[in-house]
Structure 1
């Protein structure tokens, strides 16, 4: 494996935003333990856009859930910004998600009884951000929904709901954005506009992106593509070397 990149002005290794080492996830089932992740090693550089591809059941969403602190690894190490997160308690993980991680799922996960503005403002309020409504409004304006602030999710189209979810994910200015098939519930044209918006917001904020997709063309828009197969990295670059 090649050496980790080093700063040209220093002999100190450059620490990636995300460092995953020997990550395992095993879950119980009626037929016995199921090994979902089988020793994943992966680095994601700060500011990088990385796509994670692979067949259904290969462990892509499970890896994302571990990074988000929504699933606990059985063993191994996950560093986010140099902080080990695998041993954090539930309160610390919730704080991590509020302050450093944005998540966009295939399903929009908007609260149906709250307006678009209220849905975007919730994580800001929980993080203690002053003027959460003002910041949420600006985030919705940035995704082209400044005229839909008071609309409930049921009054929005699928594309508008996903743009609201994007605004909610980006409003706290996360270091890491996790996106799991974000266009899976959208038609092709709407999905393309949402993806264009996602990449534009990422460039504007400098967020690191991990994107799960089955779409090869979409995957190739990222800086790097990593293939997951049977719970392992099958190809891609771990920290400068091709992973096999």
Structure 2
């Protein structure tokens, strides 16, 4: 039997708020196997995005353990986590997070350059073509619609061909037509690269396309 891509054991997250410590996640234990597509669902404030953040090493669990591809994320410092994400993960956020002073091509090429790929711009061009934006490579984010910006963000996340693809409400800021287009692209790109996909969504239609759905309530797996 293959080893899990993700293995969480009693993972917890406590953050310090103005009124003192806030317990965000409680004793999360789960495994995700290679090639799975996981939908994280639940009401607002249930901890979905926080769980995705600790799986991506963007927040460090304050209790328990989080392993990704056999690596203990809770034992890594910020630099090690950044390298791990660069080499193994693609992350898509609801709010795109594109660099406004860079063209679409430069936005996609930058993480490839940082990873040392000499063909960064060639790969970035192909990634933009794969999301239907080959003709928009020289445009800046402000010159694009929300749907186009999310396509650029998808191209940026998938161009390095990551083993792990994390998506936090990838269709949340889009209308239904653009949302469906991004949803189709997300799964097509996942299939092309053989990535393991974990996504946070409020969309029942998007969750239904996943191979497994995990529901969170009050920071716990329901």
**Which bin holds the TM-score, normalised by the shorter protein?**
over 0.9
After the TM superposition, which residues 88-99 of structure 1 pair with which residues of structure 2 at under 5 Å, given as runs?
88-99=76-87
Q: In 2, distance between residues paired with 1:83 and 1:93?
A: 10
After the TM superposition, which residues 128-147 of structure 1 pair with which residues of structure 2 at under 5 Å, given as runs?
128-147=116-135
Answering whether residue 216 of structure 2 is matched by residue 228 of structure 1, we say yes
Instruction: Return structure 1 stretches of 4+ with deviation > 2 angstroms.
Output: none
Larger Rg: 1
Residues 105-131 of structure 1, C-alpha deviations (whole Å, 9 max, x = no match) = 110110011000000011001111111
> If the length of structure 1 is used for normalisation, what is the TM-score?
0.89
Instruction: Return 5+ residue gaps in structure 1 as ranges.
Output: 1-5, 7-13, 235-244
> If the length of structure 2 is used for normalisation, what is the TM-score?
0.98
Q: In 2, distance between residues paired with 1:218 and 1:94?
A: 28
Answering whether residue 63 of structure 2 is matched by residue 75 of structure 1, we say yes
Shift of 1:215: 1.1
Residues 201-232 of structure 1, C-alpha deviations (whole Å, 9 max, x = no match) = 00111000001111112101100100011111
For 2:31, which of 39, 43, 57 is the aligned residue? 43
Q: In 2, distance between residues paired with 1:21 and 1:109?
A: 31
> 1:113 is paired with a residue of what secondary structure?
coil
Number of equivalenced pairs: 222
CA RMSD in angstroms, aligned pairs only:
0.8
Instruction: Return 5+ residue gaps in structure 2 as ranges.
Output: none
Shift of 1:32: 2.0
Residues 70-96 of structure 1, C-alpha deviations (whole Å, 9 max, x = no match) = 111101111111111111011111101
Whether the aligned pair in 1 keeps the contact of 2:6 and 2:69 (CA below 8 Å) is yes
| Equivalent residue number for residue 88 of structure 2 | 100
Shift of 1:177: 0.6
> 1:52 is paired with a residue of what secondary structure?
strand
| Equivalent residue number for residue 166 of structure 1 | 154
| Equivalent residue number for residue 184 of structure 2 | 196
* Structure with the largest fraction of helix: 2
